[in-house]
Structure 1
Amino acid sequence: MPRTPTAKSKPLDGAVIPVPEEINFDLQLPDPEDSKISEAEFQQQINLAWQVCDRIDLQTDVWRGKILRTVRDREKQLGEDRGMGFLNWLKDREISKSHAYNLIELANSADEMLSEGYLEETDVNQFTKRAFVETAQAAPEVRQMIADTAKQGNKVTRREVRQLSDEWTAMTSDLLPETVREKAANQTIPARYLAPLVKQMEKLPEVHQVSLRDTVEECPDVDTLKQVTAEARYLARYLESATQVQVLANSNLDLETALEEALRLGCLNSTADLVNQAAQMEQLVTKLHATWRRINQLTDRLYVDTGASTPHLRSMLSSLERLSGESIDVTIGDPTGEGWSREIRVKIEDDREDEAPVETGDWE
């Protein structure tokens, strides 16, 4: 139940905003797309709602997520500075971007759970935050069972949600053989070994699902489940990474045949890791090139703005030439040379040096 607040609360600007004696969870947030609302009025309504949330338990974070979502959508509607207004709003309140989007996810989960009739608003405080989000992501049948537990006044943690989800998956997934589902039903095989397997198998094409299913059916024990789950994970990693590696996509390589050969030799793990590392390397090279271009732009600008009156700044620019030239030199290890060290040299050749790098936005 919500706690009754004290009479007043002070906002950031120093003005006193009254807080209602009885907190109403149905806070009225401004429409982020309403251009008729002035920025001052919009911020005042947002700040009032944010302060009211200081008096509530889990519903505090649900409403904080709704507030953050409203501010974010307002910035999207204005379309200014590529989301910098939202990021500045977070910075003023010392809220990290990741925490903000976690709260928005919590708000989205609440909207889904309440709109579909699984819960009443008074039931929300029976959940931990992670349990609430995972309940919203669970199968409809699992949601209903967990919601019934919450309505009975029982606390719901992430552990209960995962356990119930695992049991439901183990007993209902068509990806598992009937014999295995029966063992899960009579608890001969713990459900916690089956849910990860199903999760990995769902990422695979049907041909691989059938092969893994047959393996489990031949030997339905815990050791086999662990082995097949690992194999499914490597298969999923290989198939996902292989499509992201440009040097593979641009070649005439038969990726499926290469996969079959890796399976035959028992080196699927190493093959999947190799392809995954290749995908990461291409991404790192792309990021390196963009950073290198940016360093060159800033260096050129500072060289124009500086002169003989700034010898130390000029000296700094000269030192950074090891990173801004066509050949990038970096020393790893002991930079003084007294201990172990190694110099790494990378040469960058851009076939379109005159084109500006593509910028990316801040929105998620």
Structure 2
Amino acid sequence: MQYNESIDELAALLQQPADFEFELPDPEDEEIPEPEFQTQLDVAWQVCDRFDLQTDIWRGRILRAVRDREKIGGEGRGAGFLKWLKEREIGKSQAYALIQLANSADTLLEEGRLEPSAINNFSKRAFIETAKAAPEVQQMVGEAAQKGDRITRREVRQINDEWTAMSSELLPEPVKIKAAENSLPPRYIAPLVKEMEKLPESHQNAIQKEISQNPDIDTIKQVTTDARNLAKYLKAAAQVQALNAQEVDIETALIEAQRVGCLSIAADLVNQASQLEQMIAKLYMSWKKIGNLSDRLYVDTGASTPRLRELLECLEPLGGEVMELQLSGGTEHTIRLQIQETS
């Protein structure tokens, strides 16, 4: 039977040790020039990388088969799959990462963006980076790999940056022209596009106008920082309850802060306000818990536990209406906080 023959072939392969040995250069051999020493190690590392990638892709396919079999005939909401992982000491998150890697590999192969033989030209991290990239980037990376180019994560990111610089609708034409001429390196443009995608259209338009007038590296770097601050400002502002009380026009305030050159300060202020409100909420919950625990401990203790009562007496004020804390530094300060609850 073909089934039994395939099982026998697999079993025979497992009995054979893998031909996987290197003659690494002797680190103490000073006659080996440094460039040659590094080259020999790099070649060995690349082989390990390819071996690791191919192994993980097949592990992902095996895990996917186990999971899918469980979906068809398993019981107990995937208990069989989890048991299989436990027996092989594989974490659930690791298993699904391997399955995702296998899915990515199969998708790239099925859609013709990659030939099976080209997988050997990838490092493991480069392959994962390619799997997460846009289809157009996958196509370009696949073509480079099929030509025999060695693909590392750096190459994938470079191709992705180049594609972003030439294809993003958020970039004005002067910037795209400069990118095509390579007078504006894509590595500066890609982060800007990433930050602009987080912003409302009105702020995108303002940035587009500025980089159209000055399509140079310094301007790109500055507006990238501004865009990052804008995104932080907007995200933090949406979480600050104090701003909702008076329905502050966040957009206009943002434009004003940018116009007078105080954007980073305004962004930091709103971010700190957001953090303070979160800390107040946590303080309140801890304060309530201390009060409840103190009450329970008072009921459960008595004259037979004098030291425990002393501990309770020292900590109990922290659950009272007024809390007091000594801050020591250059000079000592006493901080008093009063919490009042209202329905």
If the length of structure 2 is used for normalisation, what is the TM-score?
0.69
5 Å-filtered alignment, 1:107-126, equals 107=98, 109-110=100-101, 112-114=103-105, 116-118=107-109, 123=119, 126=122
Structure 1 counterpart of 2:278 = 283
Match of 2:85 among 46, 60, 68: 46
Q: CA deviation at 1:201?
A: 0.8
Q: CA deviation at 1:215?
A: 0.8
Structure 1 counterpart of 2:239 = 244
Structure 1 counterpart of 2:185 = 190
Distance 1:6 1:257 in 2: 71
Q: Does 1:170 align with 2:165?
A: yes
Q: CA deviation at 1:162?
A: 2.4
| CA distance 1:189–1:38, change in 2 (3 Å) | closer
1:109–1:136 Cα contact (<8 Å) kept: no
Q: CA deviation at 1:121?
A: 12
Structure 2 counterpart of 1:211 = 206
Match of 1:341 among 328, 332, 339: 332
Segment of structure 1 superposing worse, 134-143 or 266-275: 134-143
Q: Does 1:274 align with 2:269?
A: yes
Structure 2 counterpart of 1:232 = 227
Gaps of 5+ in 1: 8-21, 51-63, 70-102, 353-364
Q: CA deviation at 1:194?
A: 0.6
**SS of 1:220's equivalent?**
coil
Structure 1 counterpart of 2:92 = 68
1:189–1:221 Cα contact (<8 Å) kept: yes
| CA distance 1:163–1:345, change in 2 (3 Å) | farther
Higher helix share: 2
2:321–2:338 Cα contact (<8 Å) kept: yes
**SS of 1:174's equivalent?**
coil
Segment of structure 1 superposing worse, 140-149 or 270-279: 140-149
**SS of 1:351's equivalent?**
coil
Deviation digits for residues 78-116 of structure 1 (CA, Å, limit 9, x no counterpart): xxxxxxxxxxxxxxxxxxxxxxxxx47734742551353
Structure 2 counterpart of 1:12 = none
Letter in 2 for 1:181: K
Distance 1:328 1:299 in 2: 15
Match of 2:306 among 311, 325, 328: 311
Distance 1:244 1:201 in 2: 21
Letter in 2 for 1:230: T
- Coordinate RMSD, CA, aligned: 3.6
1:105–1:133 Cα contact (<8 Å) kept: no
Q: CA deviation at 1:42?
A: 6.5
Q: Does 1:220 align with 2:244?
A: no
Distance 2:287 2:95 in 1: 35
Aligned residues: 283
Q: CA deviation at 1:204?
A: 1.0
| CA distance 1:105–1:346, change in 2 (3 Å) | farther
Residue identity (%): 45
User: Looking at CA atoms only, which structure, 1 or 2, has the larger radius of gyration?
Assistant: 2
| CA distance 1:35–1:313, change in 2 (3 Å) | farther
Structure 1 counterpart of 2:255 = 260
5 Å-filtered alignment, 1:79-94, equals none
1:109–1:132 Cα contact (<8 Å) kept: no
